[in-house]
A = this chain, B = another copy of it.
Amino acid sequence: MVEIGAPKDIQKLYNFVDDVSDSELFETWKPKIRAYLADLDKEAIEEYRVPSTEVPKDLDEKSFDTVEFLNETKHLSEEEKRITDSSVVDIEKEIASKKLSSVAVLKAFAHRAVILNQFTNFATQFFIREALTKAQELDDYISKTGKTVGPLHGIPISVKEQIGMAGKVTHGGWVAWLDFIPKEDATTVKVLKDLGAVMYVRTNEPQTLMHLDSNNNITGRTRNPFNSILSAGGSSGGEGACVGGRGSAIGVGSDIGGSIRAPAAFCGAWGFRPTTRRISTAGGVSSGKGQETIVAVEGPLAHSAEDVDYFMKSYINSGKPWEEDPWCIPLPWREVAKPKASDITVAIIYDNGLVAPHPPIARGLNAVAEKLKAAGVNVIKFEPLEAEEAYDVCCQIYTCDGNLAQKAMLKPSGEPLLPLTKWAFSMGNGDKALSIIDNRNLTARRDNLRKVYNDYFVKNKVDFIISPTYVGVAPCTVDDGIAGPFFWGYTSLWNILDLPTLVAPTGLSQDPKIDTPNKDYKPRSYVDKIEQNKYIPELFEKAPICLQLTGRRYFDEEVVAFGELFEDVMNA
């Protein structure tokens, strides 16, 4: 085992009773897991795969760069590489003008996805044959009518497994849910299919859906496509690996504490956490139904800000999700032009005062500040604002029911608890359920925080805030996640505030030679110490450096438009 800086005495922070795992009971579920995995194997079309001899046996011991492999392999044709390197916007243009067929596009992405999965284990389910039939129907439609069925006609979209699909097992990472087969598609699946999207793969997630990593007792751990010993993030880690490795044109994840953004950032993708009630979450499996203090969202992981914009516009303006799900607000997606650099003010969170970012993230923040300034942006420093208060409320809310809902979903299978599940159960007050009055008080504290941050934007005329997504780049999670992400405070801040937040790649990646540890840093807390101890520069080579861009509530369009400017500036 490589030294990964795992905390040695994390148990002292545990704040729960394991009254759910039961190894005998779990044995009885193993045949079901094996059947599920056999189906996954069967549907990962044989002829799409690379020979198993090309897949290193030591992916979990030694860094392997799958993206580089995919870019160089001869198993993908040049045309397949061209297609999978294209944006959704460009693919859609080629499909609409009949330069590309939906079948060709699907084959390219599915082929790449199957290979990517051999290395990263990002998929929970393939159904490529079914998708090919659908793609053929779309091709027939366009050749008959000359029109596309909708703005996502023929776009291969990956979807986090937790989002229900009719007739397909939807377990959400809970072993006991392997029996659950929804009768109807989740609203988002329905909307996307109606717009012409083609679905062919569902993606991995962690046990409980409450890790910023993706490991569970069904499909196991998803590897980072840039470095196989690192985490692909979570809870939408399958999406992170899939989109980061270009196994899909665009993907859909969900996020209540960082679950779209950590995977996007760890895997070098764009990832958007919209404001609540713009994208439907109806029809997803989770433990949090009815918890409304911090509300989960769904949103895209993508290859560019432009694709995020196209997805959101298509989903909202053409998809009209409120016809299906009255939780969604009939608020059109506005056309917002890329801002002029000299017109905007950006505040940067260099450090939230609780846990300092690791050297590569600090370097990323500084590089971004310099480039934005050079482009004419008014860049200011964001002084930490109620970060501790915000994190305290988040942690208490995540476990406010005393882990009862989670345990009720785990218990029927007796599955063992993974290290990051133990951590998630220990947040806030752990197993101690709060009263309704306690919960209301937390909600009132949340509202106060929202007011404080809204005032910050309005009174200081700040347009956007840039912040780390996580303390570091993707952490190493080879040992069941024991050195995984513990501190969620940089992402969960935007969940509690419900502010639209876009993860944007900086184009930079970790370099052990430059990003040397800061030996003078004195950890401010035990959790800070855990996070700092994990920074062993050699582990993280090639891990992408991605940051969060945040704007005001329901100013989602402005945030994405700023993402386009950010992309220009960083590429310049």
- C-alpha spacing A292/B327, complex, angstroms: 13
- In the complex formed, the residue of B with least CB distance to A499 is B326
Min CB–CB distance A294 → chain B (angstroms): 11
Interface presence of A447 (CB below 8 A): yes
Residues of B within 8 A of A447 (CB): 282, 290, 327
- C-alpha spacing A169/B162, complex, angstroms: 51
Residues 437-452 of chain A, each 1 if its beta carbon lies under 8 Å from chain B, else 0: 1011111100100110
A330, A440, A555 — which one has the most chain B CB atoms within 10 A of its CB?
Answer: A440
Min CB–CB distance A353 → chain B (angstroms): 23
Binds B, one of A22-30, A247-255, A340-348, A399-407: A399-407
Min CB–CB distance A461 → chain B (angstroms): 12
A residues in contact (CB < 8 Å) with B? 282, 289-293, 322-323, 325-327, 329-331, 400-402, 404-405, 433-437, 439-444, 447, 450-451, 453-454, 458, 497-498, 552-555
Contact of A401 among B290, B330, B436, B498 (CB under 8 A): B436
- C-alpha spacing A176/B252, complex, angstroms: 51
Q: With contacts A282-B451, A323-B458, A325-B454 known, what are 13 further pairs, Cβ within 8 A?
A: A289-B443, A290-B440, A291-B440, A325-B451, A326-B450, A326-B497, A327-B450, A329-B331, A330-B554, A401-B436, A401-B437, A404-B437, A434-B436
List 26 A–B pairs whose Cβ atoms lie within 8 Å, in order of A's numbering: A290-B440, A290-B442, A290-B443, A290-B444, A291-B440, A322-B553, A322-B554, A325-B454, A326-B451, A326-B453, A326-B454, A326-B497, A326-B553, A329-B331, A329-B554, A331-B554, A400-B436, A401-B436, A401-B437, A401-B440, A402-B436, A405-B437, A405-B440, A433-B436, A436-B439, A439-B439
- C-alpha spacing A235/B388, complex, angstroms: 39
Min CB–CB distance A20 → chain B (angstroms): 16
Q: Which 8 A-B pairs have the closest CB atoms?
A: A290-B440, A290-B443, A326-B454, A292-B292, A401-B436, A326-B450, A326-B553, A290-B444
Residues of B within 8 A of A497 (CB): 326
Residues of B within 8 A of A554 (CB): 322, 329-331
Min CB–CB distance A390 → chain B (angstroms): 14
- In the complex formed, the residue of B with least CB distance to A402 is B436
- C-alpha spacing A553/B292, complex, angstroms: 18
- In the complex formed, the residue of B with least CB distance to A401 is B436
Q: Give the oligomeric copy count.
A: 2
- C-alpha spacing A444/B290, complex, angstroms: 5
- C-alpha spacing A437/B400, complex, angstroms: 9
- In the complex formed, the residue of B with least CB distance to A329 is B554
- In the complex formed, the residue of B with least CB distance to A289 is B444
Contact (Cβ within 8 A) A443 B292:
yes
Residues of B within 8 A of A435 (CB): 401, 433, 435-436
- C-alpha spacing A290/B396, complex, angstroms: 15
Min CB–CB distance A240 → chain B (angstroms): 29
Contact (Cβ within 8 A) B293 A292:
yes
Residues of B within 8 A of A330 (CB): 553-555
Residues of B within 8 A of A322 (CB): 454, 553-554
- C-alpha spacing A329/B328, complex, angstroms: 12
- In the complex formed, the residue of B with least CB distance to A439 is B436
Min CB–CB distance A431 → chain B (angstroms): 13
- C-alpha spacing A329/B498, complex, angstroms: 12
- C-alpha spacing A325/B457, complex, angstroms: 12
- In the complex formed, the residue of B with least CB distance to A453 is B326
- In the complex formed, the residue of B with least CB distance to A458 is B323
Residues of B within 8 A of A327 (CB): 447, 450
Residues of B within 8 A of A553 (CB): 322, 326, 330
Contact (Cβ within 8 A) B440 A289:
yes
A292, A436, A443, A450 — which one has the most chain B CB atoms within 10 A of its CB?
Answer: A436
- C-alpha spacing A450/B435, complex, angstroms: 26
Residues of B within 8 A of A439 (CB): 290, 436, 439
Min CB–CB distance A356 → chain B (angstroms): 28
- In the complex formed, the residue of B with least CB distance to A325 is B451
Min CB–CB distance A103 → chain B (angstroms): 33
